Amino acid sequence: MKHKNLIALLLAGAMVLGLAACGGNSEPSPAGSSGGASSAGQAAASQSSAPSEDAGTTGGQLVVYSPATEGQINAVIPLFEEKYGIDVEVITGGTGELLARVDAEGDNPYADVIFGGGESSYAEYKHIFQDYVSTEDSNLLPEFRNTLGYCTNYCIDSAILIINTDLVGDVEINGYMDLLNPELKGKISMPDPTASSSAMMHIETILSDFGGLTLENEEGWDVVGQIVANLDGKLASGSSAAWKAVADGEMVVALSYEEAGIVLARDGAPVRVVYPEEGTVFTPSTSGIVKNCKNLDNAKLFIDFILGQEVQNIFCNDLDVRPVRDDVSYPDYFRPASDVKTVYLDQAYVNDHKEEIADKYMDIYMDVYPG
Quote the pLDDT of residue 31.
29
Residue 324 is predicted with a pLDDT of 94
The predicted model gives 254-259 an average pLDDT of: 93
Q: pLDDT over 90 for what percent of the chain?
A: 64
Give 264's Cβ-side CA count (13 Å radius): 28
Mean pLDDT of the chain: 85
Q: What is the pLDDT of residue 239?
A: 87
User: What are residue 162's DSSP bridge partners?
Assistant: 254, 273
Between CA 19 and CA 69 the distance in angstroms is 23
Round to whole Å and give the CA distance between 69 and 78.
Answer: 15
Q: Which residues of 87-126 are buried (b: 16+ CB within 10 A; e: fewer)?
A: ebbbbbbbbbbbbbbbbbbeeebbbbbbbbbbbbbbbbbb
pLDDT interval class at 13 (50, 70, 90): very low
**Which tens digits make up the pLDDT trace of 134-189?**
999 999 999 899 999 999 999 998 999 999 999 999 999 999 999 999 999 999 99
Threshold 0.85, pTM exceeds: no
pLDDT at 198: 85
pLDDT confidence of residue 237: 87
Angstrom CA distances, 365 to 56, 227, 236, 320, 370, stand at: 50, 10, 14, 33, 8
Burial group, residue 158, by CB count within 10 angstroms (0-12, 13-18, 19+) = buried
pLDDT at residue 2, as a whole number: 66
The CATH architecture annotation of domain 158-281+350-368 reads 3-Layer(aba) Sandwich (3.40)
- For range 94-103, the mean pLDDT: 91
Mean pLDDT across the stretch 210-214? Answer: 96
Compute the distance between CA of residue 19 and CA of residue 7 in angstroms, rounded to an integer. Answer: 15
- Is 332 in a helix, a strand, or coil? coil
Residue spans of alpha helices (H) in 37-188:
39-47, 70-84, 95-105, 119-124
Residues of the chain with CATH 3.40.190.10: 2-156+282-336, 158-281+350-368
At 124 the pLDDT is: 86
Does the structure show a pLDDT above 80 at 33?
A: no
Return the CATH fold of 2-156+282-336.
D-Maltodextrin-Binding Protein; domain 2 (3.40.190)
Please measure the distance between the N-terminal and C-terminal CA atoms of the chain and give it in whole angstroms.
48
Closest CA to 113 of 161, 145, 144, 68: 68
